[in-house]
């Protein structure tokens, strides 16, 4: 398992990590397998969405900010309950196929680390499961 | 990895793909393993929910339509920001166990391809990870 | 694949299942691998979030209860459409890495079975995929 460090500059941000994950796959030499991504934080998440137009990520962030208010009638005293809620709504893991040494992603898909309570230094776990010949297709 | 083609007839739809995925598993001969489903699109998703009563799918779609409005104060210029937001909320991948050659699903569970910006022809990737004897339980 | 039984006492609850899943991993002897969790129900879910302060789970439940009302203009006649919607928003599967025989979780992360239509007796499937030497990293 590899671990990436992700640095955010703002409280909320979508950070494109596609090329970093692909570099880990390329370095491993794995041709066919599964890539498990796990965010070991409770106020961040990971998603796959459009990377070509940055307005898509900003629309998603703006939607979440409006619908999950930063200040609300929350009981958790740290002032970041909104970030915990967003983490559960978006999710902290992603599983993606790898074929011929490349992440299988659609034309417009990028992988985004979602920061909801930054700025901070965060980690992203990347676990590669190579499908050996014994594993079949 | 296999790829299914999914055709939608409306802008928004839940399309039950359970039997098509089971057919791929059956054809592979895999008995014990994991089934990774990945939607290579940014305005669609995949979920598992009740398939017996179609009202459940229509209630989920109606909820999402009400809470993620089609027209809103979005920056992305293609008029489908709602579909991108729904894709991130629902998610583009699912991972399911396979035992004795069958998808492990609850009595009421079906797998739905979620179209949020159709009608279109879409793809769904199905990656089977067979657990050989060397892989243990 | 192992199956845990989860008993809920209320209609809605987050039940910490981390130690039960770790016990299954420990009993299996698996050192390096992937843990696939699957909820075979359509009105429950599974998430990973903060376990240290129980206010976090109650804030997430309160948020979902407010934003996905129990009584609404739903078509499904069983009075639990809210629970089906929450199940799709949170998701019924999680995939986590295992290293040195331990679940890879962040300092504050716990795994929660999410009951949205209890009280009931529920099941949680735990599938372990051991990465044998042939599988590489």
Chain B residue nearest residue A104, CA to CA: B40
8 Å CB contact between B93 and A95:
yes
Give the DSSP H/E element, type plus range, for residue C65.
Answer: helix C54-67
Mean pLDDT estimate for chain B: 95
pLDDT band (50, 70, 90) for residue A137: very low
Q: What Cα–Cα distance (Å) separates residue C87 from each residue in A40, B68, C92, C93?
A: 22, 17, 7, 10
Q: Is it the case that residue C23 has pLDDT exceeding 80?
A: yes
Q: Is it the case that residue C132 has pLDDT exceeding 80?
A: no
pLDDT band (50, 70, 90) for residue A132: low
Q: Is it the case that residue C82 has pLDDT exceeding 70?
A: yes
The end-to-end CA distance of chain C, in Å, is: 23
Q: Is it the case that residue C104 has pLDDT exceeding 70?
A: yes
Selecting from B34, B48, B108 the residue whose C-beta is nearest the C-beta of C36 gives B34
Cβ count near C2 (within 10 Å): 16
Selecting from C56, C104, C107 the residue whose C-beta is nearest the C-beta of A125 gives C104
| Residue keyed to tokens 């979620």 | B114
Q: For chain A, give the percent of residues with pLDDT over 90.
A: 94
pLDDT tens digit sequence for A80-96: 999 999 999 999 999 99
Chain B residue nearest residue A109, CA to CA: B42
Per-residue pLDDT, A131: 85
Contact A88 C60 (CB under 8 A): yes
Number of A to C CB contacts under 8 A, please give it.
100
Give the residue from B107, C13, B106, B88 showing the smallest Cα distance to A62: B88
The end-to-end CA distance of chain B, in Å, is: 23
Higher-pLDDT residue of A134, A2: A2
A74 in contact with C, Cβ within 8 Å: yes
Q: In chain C, where are the structural domains located? A: 2-130
Contact C59 A38 (CB under 8 A): no
8 Å CB contact between C128 and C33:
yes
C95 in contact with B, Cβ within 8 Å: yes
8 Å CB contact between B97 and C1:
yes
Fold of A2-130: Jelly Rolls (2.60.120)
> How far apart are alpha carbons C34 and C54 in whole angstroms?
27
Contacts of residue A136 in chain B, CB cutoff 8 Å? Answer: 28, 30, 128, 130, 132
Chain A residue nearest residue B41, CA to CA: A106
Contact C1 B104 (CB under 8 A): yes
Q: Is it the case that residue B136 has pLDDT exceeding 90?
A: no
Mutate to test the interface with B, among C24, C29, C37, C88 (most CBs of B within 10 A): C88
Q: Which residues have a Cβ under 8 Å from the Cβ of B80 and sit 6 or more positions away?
A: B43, B116, B117
Higher-pLDDT residue of C93, C137: C93
From the number of C-beta atoms within 10 Å of its C-beta (0-12, 13-18, 19+), residue A88 rates as buried
Per-residue pLDDT, B132: 66
pLDDT band (50, 70, 90) for residue B137: very low
Give the residue from B43, B61, B49 showing the smallest Cα distance to B16: B49
A31 in contact with C, Cβ within 8 Å: no
Per-residue pLDDT, C95: 98
Contacts of residue A38 in chain B, CB cutoff 8 Å? Answer: none
ipTM (interface pTM): 0.95
β-sheet bridge partners, residue C47 = C112
Per-residue pLDDT, C135: 41
pLDDT tens digit sequence for A14-59: 999 999 999 999 999 999 999 999 999 999 999 999 999 999 999 9
Selecting from B49, B55, B104 the residue whose C-beta is nearest the C-beta of C87 gives B49
Selecting from A59, A99, A106 the residue whose C-beta is nearest the C-beta of B84 gives A59
> How far apart are alpha carbons C89 and A85 in whole angstroms?
11
Per-residue pLDDT, B94: 98
| Residue keyed to tokens 């962040």 | C106
pLDDT tens digit sequence for B52-89: 999 999 999 999 999 999 998 999 999 999 999 999 99
């Amino acid at each position: 398992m590899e671990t990436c460090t992700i640095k955010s500059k703002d409280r909320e941000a979508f950070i494109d990590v596609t090329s970093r994950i692909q570099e880990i796959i390329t370095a491993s030499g794995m041709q066919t397998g599964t890539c498990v991504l796990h965010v070991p934080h409770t106020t961040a998440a990971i998603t796959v969405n459009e990377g070509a137009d940055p307005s898509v990520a900003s629309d998603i962030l703006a939607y979440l900010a409006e619908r999950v208010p930063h200040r609300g009638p929350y009981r958790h005293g740290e002032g970041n309950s909104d970030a915990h809620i967003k983490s559960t709504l978006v999710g902290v893991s992603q599983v993606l196929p790898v074929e011929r040494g490349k992440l299988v992603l659609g034309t417009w898909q990028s992988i985004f680390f979602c920061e909801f309570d930054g700025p901070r230094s965060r980690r992203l776990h990347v676990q590669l499961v190579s499908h050996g010949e014994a594993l079949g297709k």
